[in-house]
Structure 1
Amino acid sequence: MRLLLIRHGQTPSNVAGLLDTAVPGPGLTELGTRQAAALPDRLAGESIDELYASPLLRTQQTAAPLAKRLGLPVAVRDGVREIEAGELAMRGDSGSINAYVSTVFAWARGDVEARIPGGESGVEALRRFDSVIDEIAATDRSCAAVVSHGAAIRLWTASRGINVRVDDVEAEPLRNTEIVVMEGSPDGGWRFMQRLAAG
């Protein structure tokens, strides 16, 4: 099947450069709202059967225009929420951001027992994201769109993409409403197909 992993639109915390991972989190900025409104046209060529979002407000607001255009409900799943920042939450200094990102990519390289201080381990983060992807794949639909978060999408792509180099994913941040396209299955593996630049 085909997975469209979509990062949410811009939020005030993105603008401020903060590690804001708590539920429900902030809504979209004016730019973020425009980014979300552009998604239906950007994805007009995709045959999307299902639409998912995390419990955070920003993903559901991003998914709303697409849901309206497609006539689909948005299935909210906790498993695709952002990786918890723990004690680093709401910090924006380079040390905190580097600690967060380096832990996430240590997980992608196999050190899944490492833990963000006061947050989750790689085992926990991957298990919950995998559970949603497995649920989606079990529906036997051809294409699903999942509105999630930058670190969560990058971690899952780097960890589960059979043709993906972790260094490449680490080197390239995922911008607001940028889309990672994956194809495959839990049994056969997932292949990275392309990244669709933000609109």
Structure 2
Amino acid sequence: MATLVLVRHGRTTANATGVLAGRTPGVELDETGTQQAGAAGRRLAGLALAEIVSSPLERCRQSATALLAQQPSAGAQRVLVEDDLSECDYGEWQGRALSELAQEPLWATVQTQPTAAVFPGGESMPAMQARGVAAVRRHDARITQASGPHAVWAAVSHGDVIKAILADALGMHLDSFQRLDVHPASISIVHYGGPRPAVLGVNTLEGELGWLGRTPGETVGGGAGAAR
């Protein structure tokens, strides 16, 4: 199977001011976020990404465009928008200050038992995970068939969505997914295939990625790592 690079969008004005943006239209990268997305693009510039797939929200499409701008001529030629990679539908929580939301009874549920969390007027966290995982697996199978098992592709999405996808790949219960950190413009890496997914990186912010695309082997005792 191909290798999936999960990229969170860069910082936004909402992130910087402590507001839960959700699906609010018009939330864009701030100056720091633009720089962060450019840095993520430079990390991936040595790879010819087979495709770049993005959440439809502006901040992700801006980040995906920054990745595309630094691709070699043999790399992805456009950004494909995927609705199922969109931010969690936080419903009535959308647009409110995080400091205010922390006083809500549901906040503790979101932090400690997200499988029981349903946002008022929005979606549940298990529903968010289900659509996100289904989307990346669907695109991964399609890209593998089209471009081969050594293909590398990128999905640009949101913090909670990426954490939920990583939790599934790690065999981690969704109720534990808040233990994961996914920073703005961070890169996490998943390889589907074999008896189980292989998680090759979580929340990475630095380092060259030219070694991607080499299928992980099944090993006992840790293995020797990818050839450099």
Describe how 1:83-94 pairs up with structure 2 within 5 A.
83-94=88-99
Pick from 164, 167, 179 the counterpart of residue 155 of structure 1.
164
Gaps of 5+ in 2: 207-228
Structure with higher Rg: it is: 2
Q: Identify unmatched segments of 5+ residues in structure 1.
A: none
Q: Contact (CA 8 Å) 2:109, 2:117: kept in 1 or not?
A: no
Task: Indicate if the aligned counterparts of 1:104 and 1:122 stay in contact, CA closer than 8 A.
Answer: no
Equivalent residue runs for 1:121-160 within 5 Å:
121-139=124-142, 140=144, 141=147, 142-160=151-169
Shift in alpha-carbon separation, 1:11–1:156, aligned structure 2, 3 A: same
* Cα deviation 1:56-78 (Å, max 9, x = unaligned): 00001011121122252100011
How far is the alpha carbon of 1:106 from its aligned partner?
2.9
TM-score by length of 2: 0.73
Q: Which of residues 170, 174, 181 is equivalent to 2:178? A: 170
Q: CA deviation at 1:145?
A: 0.4
Structure 1 position 165, deviation (Å): 7.1
* 1:9 corresponding residue in structure 2: 10
Aligned positions, number = 193
Q: Quick check: 1:78 aligned with 2:79?
A: no
Question: C-alpha deviations, 1:14-56, integer Å up to 9, x for none?
Answer: 0011111115341110111111122222123444211011010
Aligned partner of 2:201 among 179, 191, 194:
194
Partner of 1:183: 191
Q: Aligned residue for 1:120? A: 123
Counterpart-to-counterpart distance in 1, 2:109 and 2:69: 37
- Taking a change above 3 Å as real, the CA distance of residues 7 and 102 of structure 1, as seen in their structure-2 partners, is farther
Residue of structure 2 in register with 1:103 after alignment: 110
Tell me, in whole angstroms, the C-alpha distance in 1 between the residues paired with 2:42 and 2:141: 28
Instruction: Please give the residue correspondences for 1:19-30 in structure 2 after superposition, counting only pairs within 5 Å.
Output: 19-30=20-31
Deviation digits for residues 103-155 of structure 1 (CA, Å, limit 9, x no counterpart): 37634xxx3x6412221023421232133213212221422101100011112
Of 138-147 and 87-96, deviating more is: 87-96
Q: Structure 1: how far apart are the matches of 2:27 and 2:155?
A: 19
> What RMSD, in angstroms, separates the aligned Cα atoms of the two structures?
2.6
Q: Would the alpha carbon gap of residues 197 and 74 (structure 1) be closer, same or farther in structure 2, given more than 3 Å must change?
A: same
**Mapped contact 2:27–2:59 kept (Cα < 8 A):** yes
127-136 or 75-84: bigger deviation: 127-136
